[in-house]
Amino acid sequence: MNQPHHLPRPASSRPTATGLLTAVPGLLGFIPESSLVLISMREQNRVHATMRYDLSLGSDGWPDDDLLAVLDRLGRIVAGQAPEFIVGAIADNRFSPRDERYHRVLATADGFFAAAGGIAHGFVVTEFEEHAPWELIWQGEGPSRVETGVGEAGRDVRGWPARRIAGTMGDPHIAPTAVRHAVDTGRRLLARRSEIAEMLAPLPHCESEDCAVTGPYRVRSRAETAITGFGDITDFVGITELDPVWGDRITRDRRALLATVMGVLRSRPRLDCPTVSELELAITTPAVRDALLACAVTDLRMDAEWLWRMLTRRLTGHGRAQAATLLGHLYYIAGEGSYAGVTIDIAREADPHARLAELLDSALRSGEHPQMLWEMISESRAAAAALGVELPAITLDRTA
């Protein structure tokens, strides 16, 4: 689920069908295919959320159980958000745009979204590319909310428009939403969703020719286990309570670890073996990792995305999970739900017991708005200050 964006305002004060559909890839960050896309509009020309799911049909042509479960959950979530209206778009070229199977999908979605007003308009797009045809195949109750360019659509029986209404797509690569996506994130519009995971495919541990890491897990000393708080919690409690010297050492080492990460963020050095190993120790240290979460809302955001991505690719197990969690949080708080979902899945696959990844996954699947994550930012900045590091000022727009 991706979050709010403004669309250009046409003279009629209603979004155009071509403009809205052309904006979809920029809203998601990739070109959807074989997908059902639902766009929740809260105010005139303001997209509140964009939701994309695989268009999975059963042998009988009806939405399969997985899609039904998704629609049921989304219907309850969106109903609580009080949208002004909802637009559905099917991206698929397996059948004719007016095929009954596509109409069944939109009719089913309309039923699940009844508490939120149902589906106001439903389109079929063969592909999200310039000049590709689109057709309106579902018209809900009430007045038209989208300008189709041929007057009011009207409604026939069972949601079918009273007459055929069709058009062609604009170029999604130069749409305002795609341009904004590129400027805000520094990333190109991806050709498909699977590229998000491909961007996080494993790499060798580091850039050193004589890398010292030969297995999937680093061997941690007792000191490192105490510093990170990763391992047997009784070891950590015993050391800090029974040996104050170790407590001071832990604080100093955490401060040094955080300072190391901040230095790497600002300079982007060569990721040699010692550097990657120290970065792994830093992000698997809870207090340090918590402080680093706040980088997602500062002018270090793009540097943090680069580093968290690199560490996700170069580490395994718990280290990969923590790097992917930092990356997923960075995407989630900016409203990039598609990127966040893929990345958090990678974190949980790397370490099913990664607690923060589990919490983010639960929030994302429950439709929690990114605004919820801002409650953690003040705590993250306080954690950094406690370790003697002052983070840059917040620059991310909380309403974006």
Tell me how far CA of residue 262 lies from CA of 163, 184, 265, 321, in angstroms.
60, 22, 5, 20
Where is the domain boundary, 121, 154, 185? 185
Can you give the pLDDT at residue 245? 41
Can you give the pLDDT at residue 216? 41
> What does the DSSP 8-state code read for residue 229?
T
Q: Are residues 99 and 212 in the same domain?
A: no
> Which element (helix H / strand E) includes 124?
strand 121-125
Q: What is the pLDDT of residues 317-351, one digit of tens each?
A: 999 999 999 999 999 999 898 899 999 999 999 99
10 Å Cβ neighbour count for 9? 13
Q: Is residue 325 part of a domain?
A: yes
Q: Are residues 157 and 206 in the same domain?
A: no
> What does the DSSP 8-state code read for residue 190?
B
| Residue 190, CA atoms < 13 Å, CB-side half-sphere | 18
Can you give the pLDDT at residue 348? 97
Higher pLDDT, 141 or 296: 296
Can you give the pLDDT at residue 201? 95
- For the chain, give the percent of residues with pLDDT over 90: 60
Q: Band the pLDDT of 119: cuts 50, 70, 90.
A: very high
Owning domain of residue 217: 194-386
Q: Band the pLDDT of 227: cuts 50, 70, 90.
A: very low
Q: Is residue 392 part of a domain?
A: no
Q: Are residues 58 and 125 in the same domain?
A: yes
What are 8's two structure tokens? 């250009």
For the segment 62-77, the average pLDDT, to the nearest whole number, is 91
Q: Are residues 181 and 218 in the same domain?
A: no
Can you give the pLDDT at residue 249? 60
Task: Pinpoint the alpha helices (H) of the chain.
Answer: 17-28, 65-79, 100-112, 176-185, 194-198, 222-228, 233-242, 244-267, 273-283, 286-292, 301-314, 317-333, 337-350, 355-365, 374-386
Q: Band the pLDDT of 213: cuts 50, 70, 90.
A: confident
Q: Are residues 74 and 177 in the same domain?
A: yes
Full-model pTM: 0.79
For the segment 256-281, the average pLDDT, to the nearest whole number, is 94
Where is the domain boundary, 122, 154, 185? 185
For the segment 204-217, the average pLDDT, to the nearest whole number, is 73
Q: Are residues 113 and 240 in the same domain?
A: no
Q: Is residue 310 part of a domain?
A: yes
How many independent structural domains does the chain possess? 2
Q: Are residues 11 and 120 in the same domain?
A: yes
Distance CA 172, CA 27 (A): 10
Higher pLDDT, 221 or 259: 259
CB of 37 within 8 A of CB of 24? yes
Provide the b/e sequence for 282-305 (b: ≥16 CB within 10 Å): bbbbbbbbbbbbbbbbbebbebbb
Q: Is residue 151 part of a domain?
A: yes
Q: Which residues contact 242 (CB under 8 A, 6 or more apart)?
A: none
- The pLDDT of residue 199 is above 70: yes
- For the chain, give the percent of residues with pLDDT over 70: 84
CB of 379 within 8 A of CB of 294? no
Higher pLDDT, 399 or 15: 15
Q: Which residues contact 30 (CB under 8 A, 6 or more apart)?
A: 189, 190, 191, 192, 193, 195, 196, 338
Q: Is residue 298 part of a domain?
A: yes
Where is the domain boundary, 159, 185, 211? 185
Can you give the pLDDT at residue 183? 84
